[in-house]
Amino acid sequence: MGSFRHILEGEFPSDDEDSDYVPEAEVDEFSDQVDALETSLAAFSLGPRTDSEDHDEATEQSWVRRHLFFISSITFAFVGLACTYITPFFLHSLRTSELKFCDKFAPAIDCSPCPYLAKCVNGKARCPPDRVLMGTECVEHTNLEKLILQLHDKIFDLLLDRRGSHICGRDQSWRIHETQLFQRLSKLHNDEELFYEAFEMWKTRVIMGMFQTQIEYVAPFFQTASDKLFRKPRTCILLELFLQHFSSGFIFLTCALFVYFAYWYINKQQIESRQAQSLYMEIHNLLQDSGSPLALDVIRQSLSHRIYANVWKKCKDNINRDPSIQKSMRMVDGLQKRCWKVSS
């Protein structure tokens, strides 16, 4: 700062204390030279930090609230893309089959005949209370039939997972050998005789075509009835989704970042302009109350809050364009300083 004072004293020497006024026309060149230094100084404290400043910072809106509109827009866009791409992709990757039964007295077109003793409405069959629907028949509600139904559900799930893993390249075959399937399920049941009887009856019904739209038997293997029946692992689904829509996701993120920075820049400029206008009015009122020229460092000390460099620069531009404020260089404490005064 000592060197800066030396420059000021060398640029504007004055031996006579009465000749402390330099017209504005003669200091324009010097004003341009010190603008950069004043802007850099404005980045630091432009006045003592007070409790009111801490209170202002504490009450300042959070980042989320200030960018609520942008965050909401991105969220809605992301949800829209998810509904468009992700949801159908997951549904396609979890393909199962459900029998569709023909309504009573309706021709058997793209549907299975309604089972005996069942009532079929809207493609669904409902068996009597003492019977349970199994494939295309209503069977008695016994322990054996319940076990057969449980075996069918477990085996169908295993075959769906096996074909899905095969499509993802994790398993070499989409089928399960009869012996392997029997040994795998027998470990889950204590009654070996009941399990053997249930497994054989279930196998017979598969061969007879009771589960023709779900499971088929190609000796000695069981498999899903169609290559469209599969259930892929979730990790495989996410990987395929990422690979298929990587370019779209990259473009979306790039556009979102561009929109955010554009929104942030415009919002920042508007905030700085409002702060600069508020600061300009504060300085203008200060000059009016004073009635005499005030040096810039005196004005800075009168400010009770911290001002950023960009805000200070915009405020100075407003003051320089205001013809009611006189700009001059005056001798203050042995130094030539820039002063402002409101014209009377």
Tokens linked to 122:
């809207």
Give the chain's mean pLDDT: 76
pLDDT value of residue 46: 43
Residues 6+ positions from 201 with CB-CB distance below 8 Å? 144, 148
pLDDT digits (tens, 9 = 90+) for 199-232: 999 999 999 888 877 899 998 999 998 888 888 8
Terminal alpha carbon distance of the chain: 34
| pLDDT band with cut points at 50, 70 and 90 for residue 57 | very low
What's the pTM value of the predicted model, to 2 decimals?
0.49
| pLDDT band with cut points at 50, 70 and 90 for residue 196 | very high
Q: Which residues sit opposite 341 in a β-bridge?
A: 326
pLDDT at 298 over 80: yes
Q: Which of 148-162, 206-220, 296-310 has the lowest mean pLDDT?
A: 296-310
Q: 123: helix, coil or strand?
A: coil
Mean pLDDT over residues 119-134, rounded?
88
pLDDT at 116 over 80: yes
* Residue 156, CA atoms < 13 Å, CB-side half-sphere: 22
pLDDT digits (tens, 9 = 90+) for 230-247: 888 888 888 887 777 777
What percent of the chain stands above pLDDT 70? 71
pLDDT value of residue 159: 93
Q: 217: helix, coil or strand?
A: strand
Q: Which of 37-41, 131-135, 160-164, 215-219 has the lowest mean pLDDT?
A: 37-41
> What Å distances lie between residue 58 and 51, 53, 225, 305, 308, CA to CA?
11, 9, 66, 13, 17
Nearest 10 degrees: CA dihedral of 30, 35, 38, 40?
Answer: -140
